[in-house]
Amino acid sequence: MNSRSAAPREPRADDLGLDVERIREDFPILRTRVNGKPLVFLDNAASSQMPQAVIARYVRYRTSEHANIHRGVHHLSEVATREYEAVRAKVRAWINAGEEREIIYTSGTTDSINLVAHGYGRKFIGAGDEIILTVLEHHSNIVPWQMVAEEKGAHIRVVPCNDAGELDIETYRSLFTERTRLVGVTHVSNALGTVNPIADMVAIAHAHGAPVLVDGAQAAPHLPVDVQALDCDFYAFSSHKLCGPTGAGILYGKARHLEAMQPFKGGGDMIRSVSFEKTTYAPIPHKFEAGTPPIAEVIGLGAALDYLSAIGIGSIGAHEDELLRYATDRVGAMAGVRLIGTARQKAAVLSFELDGIHPHDVGTLLNEEGVAVRTGHHCAQPVMQRFGVPATVRASFAFYNTLPEIDALVAAIRKVQKVFAG
């Protein structure tokens, strides 16, 4: 995997195919010290860090390329428009979409899902219709559908999961009726890390004539995503979990759905012509991109995809799998620790709780050791209810994390237990 090393070398304990020490040098923030200790950043599922290449691209745009896009005939507007539009091809390639016009820029995954809820849901879902969601969804793939269901008098059906955090596919199959209008499912659970069998679930939904929206926020940074192979109808993800800036995201949709959809936001840049008698909309993708977008952020996302592509999603995923395996073994073997989410197929997330210690106390004391984790309900309260916990501690990994950082997590957990043991 490491094509740069021509000569054979001694394998090391942390030899996972990536030159992680060199990669870490690309991320200035990883040199931060917290409470006098080296930062161990294990909150990547909330937001990943930016490599210098992305920061530099962002600064270059701000320094020498900024103007509004699709507007002026002047030099800067042309440069900004070209650089901004060029990112569509990179995104298309990242998820293997068929066409660039199927790539809609949004402000993030939440915005992408809301666009489908408003543009597709409110047009094609009516009274008595049904929407299938899963118990593993992030609130952002629950609440927009509840809003549509409430407005239209539609109903939501929920796919349960087993004690490992794997969806019950037989129950899923049984939830379809002739009123099923849409399925919303996360590719990777943000709270548990479960990788869901999307291709199978899409095939089942399509057999019942229902389109599928996939929340890919936690999958796009870790797995090779091929929307054509998955055959999903919509795929949503965010820039800031992919080493890009916040404020930018993507909605992929099959062209025929996007063309049938109602625009969500009206305004400039989304029209072909406007008069008070009749306005005609621009063709996709611009039909959904009203107003001045986050230009610098989209260009930053493009730089992030360049950076990640150079490393390769295969190498990234393999390294993260090794980190997850090691962390699962080491943390799972500790006395007083209960892992939450033990699916056979997982990506980059280790959720757990410590006996008799509230996750927020764990988070505060881990921070004392420089270890950054997420504690709380992870915007997935139905998952917490399913597992009977108010919150969990979640360590989530990126390709720039190392095995010694997991050792640091384990040592820090031990310290927390010691404080509480008195």
Partner 1 sequence: MSAANQLYQDVILDHNRKPRNFGKLAAASHQAEGLNPLCGDHIWVYLRLKDAQVDAIGFDGQSCAICKASASMMTHAVKGKSVTAAEELAQEFRDMALGRLDPESAEHHLGRLKVFAGVRDLPTRVKCAILPWHTLHAALNAVAQASTEGEDDPVPGSGVEQPGHA
Q: Which residues are catalytic?
A: 379
3-class SS of residue 124: helix
Whole-number Å distance between alpha carbons of 190 and 382: 12
From candidates 218, 328, 401, 417, binder to partner 1 by CB under 8 A: 218
Beta bridge partner(s), residue 253: 234
Please identify which residue in the block is written with the tokens 């996007």: 258
- Give the other-Cβ count within 10 Å of 340's Cβ: 23
Residue placing its CB nearer to partner 1 in the complex, 218 or 342: 218
- Phi and psi at 125, nearest 5°, equal -110, 130
* Sole window of 23-31, 81-89, 92-100, 367-375 interacting with partner 1 (rule: CB under 8 A): 367-375
Q: Does 364 bind partner 1 (CB under 8 A)?
A: yes
Nearer to partner 1, 258 or 354 (CB): 354
The least CB distance from residue 379 to partner 1, in Å, is 6
Report the nearest approach of partner 1 to the CB of residue 287 (Å). 27
Q: Please say which residue, 179 or 358, places its beta carbon nearer to partner 1.
A: 358
Q: How far is the CB of 356 from partner 1 (least distance, A)?
A: 8
217 binds partner 1 (CB under 8 A): yes
Residue 373 and residue 206: Cα distance in Å, rounded?
Answer: 38
Site string for partner 1, 140-179 (x = CB under 8 A): x---------------------------------------
Integer Cα distance of 147 and 116 in angstroms: 12
Work out how close the CB of 391 gets to partner 1 at its nearest, in angstroms, rounded to a whole number. 5
Pattern 233-252, partner 1, x by CB under 8 A = --------x-----------
Helix (H, G, I), strand (E, B) or coil at 65: coil
User: Which one, 112 or 180, has the nearer CB to partner 1?
Assistant: 112
Is 304 near partner 1 (CB under 8 A)? no
Distance of CA 329 to the CA centre of its chain: 25
CB of 311 to partner 1, least distance (A): 22
- Between the CA atoms of 196, 91, 348 and 370, what dihedral angle is there, to the nearest 10 degrees? -150
Closest approach of partner 1 to the CB of residue 368, in Å: 5
DSSP β-bridge partners for residue 280: 273
Q: Smallest Cα–Cα separation from 52: which of 79, 17, 28, 19? A: 28
Q: Which of 81, 367, 372, 407 binds partner 1 (CB under 8 A)?
A: 367
Token output for 414:
């031990």
Stretch that binds partner 1, among 3-11, 151-159, 285-293, 414-422 (CB under 8 A): 414-422
User: Which among 17-25, 45-53, 311-319, 402-410 is the span making contact with partner 1, rule CB under 8 A?
Assistant: 45-53
**Are the beta carbons of 215 and 109 closer than 8 angstroms?**
yes
Of residues 372-411, those binding partner 1 (CB under 8 A): 374, 376-379, 390-391
CA gap 236, 102 in Å, rounded: 12
By CB under 8 A, the count of residues binding partner 1 is 29
Cβ neighbours for 71, distance < 8 A, ≥ 6 positions apart: 77
**Interacting span for partner 1 (CB under 8 A) from 150-158, 197-205, 292-300, 360-368:** 360-368
Which of 25, 168, 361, 407 is the binder for partner 1 (CB under 8 A)?
361
Interaction of residue 254 with partner 1, rule CB under 8 A? no
Listed in sequence order, the residues at least 6 apart from 377 whose beta carbon sits closer than 8 Å to its beta carbon are 191, 383, 384, 390, 391
The helix or strand, by DSSP H or E, that contains position 122, with its residue range, turns out to be helix 122-124
**∠167-173-177 over CA atoms, to 5°?**
130
**Residue 368 binds partner 1, judged by CB under 8 A:** yes
Which residues here bind partner 1, judged by CB under 8 A? 35, 45-47, 138, 140, 190, 217-218, 241, 357-361, 364-365, 367-368, 374, 376-379, 390-391, 419-420, 422
